[in-house]
Amino acid sequence: MSQIVSISLNDKILSDIEKIQKEMGFSGRSEAVRAGLRMLIADKKEKSRLKGILDVILLVIHDDENSEFVSLMRHKHQDIIKTQIHNHLESHKCLEILILNGQAEKIVKLSEEFQKNRKIDFVKLIAP
């Protein structure tokens, strides 16, 4: 049985969803949102399987004006961030490549802190 859930989306996200819907052939916006939620759930399950001490890469893309949050995270998690590479992209965006080494739980926590921040455009944890 399906239930209806109401959500508020800003114009940018709604426009992006409609573009994805058309490009990927989803029957409607709801189906595109469901696919995105399935991907988020799969990502969470994948992270929950990580154990022990890991060497991973965390990719983060954000607006140039949001560099302060990245700096705060770098200082807060300096025990697991071994290297940070900062690169300027087009449209005032920045790419952070974080090379991490540490306990899986700490790495997942850092990744999720970035994902929860609305000012971060993209986060991808690459683990073995």
SS3 for 19?
A: helix
* Whether 74 and 110 share a structural domain: yes
Low-confidence ranges of the chain (pLDDT < 50): none
For residues 33 and 77, state if they share a domain: no
The CATH number for 102's domain is 3.30.70.1150
Write the pLDDT tens digit of every residue in 102-126. 999 999 999 999 999 999 999 999 9
Say how many domains are in the chain: 2
Would you state the pLDDT for residue 62?
A: 97
pLDDT of residue 1: 82
Q: Which range of residues forms the domain containing residue 36?
A: 11-47
End-to-end CA distance of the chain: 37
32 and 56 both lie in a single domain: no
The closest of 31, 86, 30 to 58, measured between CA atoms, is: 86
One domain for residues 55 and 26 = no
Give pLDDT, residue 8. Answer: 92
